[in-house]
Amino acid sequence: MKSFVRGALALATLICAGLTLAACASKKLPETFTSAEDRAVCATLIGDLQAGATGDADILNRLNPQLRAQFTPMLPKLHAMTPSGPGASSRIVDASFRAVANSSGQRWRDSYLAYEVDQGQRRALIRFEIIRQGGSAIVNTLYINPLYVAAERLNAFTLAGRSLTQYAFLLLAAASFATIVASEVVLFRTPGIRRKWLWVVGCLFGYGQIWVDWSSGGVGFQLINIQLLGAFALKGGLLDPWRIGFGVPLVSIVFLLRRRSPLERSAKLDHQQATAAF
């Protein structure tokens, strides 16, 4: 039991290290999901927002015509929320896209881009949705939110300041993975198991799914689900919170318990035979 706990703790440490490395690598991902044209549109719009009223005409010209009347009275507030002045810089921090086609054969691309604008004392997160069809680009969404920390720290994976529930989920995820690995190792090292291939397949998965939001601590579950190797750590987008969870390794647990019982009976029988020999 002690060795199993040590193994689970070691796996939890490896998971933490892997998530940290993944977070570092993800900083370079946004540009791979966007086109140079969309990034140029966003850079121009950020410049317009920083320029004040002189940029209003260009902003409205690029917006979806159905949104222009709604955005016109909001422009002074948007200008005020956008950091500007000496030292102001911007960088892309999140991006995604989807290609869409309808039954009429029309095709278009929705791109979602998020930029952090930093002026030293002020930061803001600016989100754009750009619809590109037939060579033309229309800005369908423009949101600005103030930031008080760097964007990548909003939902970063860190062990500091988490609840007991979150730590427990991390350990349980590691334990689920360790149980599955242990059962597969035992399966391959034990001869004479009937229907071994069924056990091998069944032991590969965790069943059901339960997870914790690593930022808020909220817990969720899904009863009907299978999870390869039991544990998972994922996030919906680069700025979204991490979700840490696991499936219950039911088949692995049943196999390990069933294997242990015959071994105990065999050891007890050997002991009785040895005692009788005396």
CA–CA separation, 104 vs 21, rounded Å? 44
Q: CA 135, 128, 39, 75 torsion: positive or negative?
A: positive
- Would you kindly state where each structural domain of the chain is located, as residue ranges? 2-23+155-266, 34-153
Report which of 173, 100, 169, 92 is spatially closest to residue 126, judged by C-alpha positions.
92
Please give the C-alpha separations between residue 133 and each of 107, 136, 186, 235, in angstroms, as whole numbers: 7, 6, 56, 29
Task: Say what the pLDDT of residue 266 is.
Answer: 47
Residue 146: count other Cβ atoms within 10 Å of its Cβ.
10
Query: What value does the CA radius of gyration of the chain take, rounded to a whole number of Å?
Result: 27
* Residue 193 pLDDT grade (very low, low, confident, very high; cuts 50, 70, 90): confident
Q: Which of 22-26, 59-63, 89-93, 152-156 has the lowest mean pLDDT?
A: 22-26
User: Tens digits of per-residue pLDDT, 2-61?
Assistant: 554 455 455 555 555 555 554 444 455 566 667 888 889 999 999 999 998 899 999 999
User: Tens digits of per-residue pLDDT, 156-173?
Assistant: 788 888 899 999 999 999
Q: Reduced to 3 DSSP states, what percent helix, strand and coil does the chain have, rounded to the nearest 5? A: 50, 30, 20
Q: Are 139 and 128 in contact (CB under 8 A)?
A: yes
* Residue 153 pLDDT grade (very low, low, confident, very high; cuts 50, 70, 90): confident
Domain 34-153 -> CATH class: alpha beta
Give the percent of the chain with pLDDT over 70. 81
pTM of this structure: 0.65
Q: Which of 76-80, 147-151, 237-241 has the lowest mean pLDDT?
A: 237-241
Q: Are 117 and 51 in contact (CB under 8 A)?
A: no
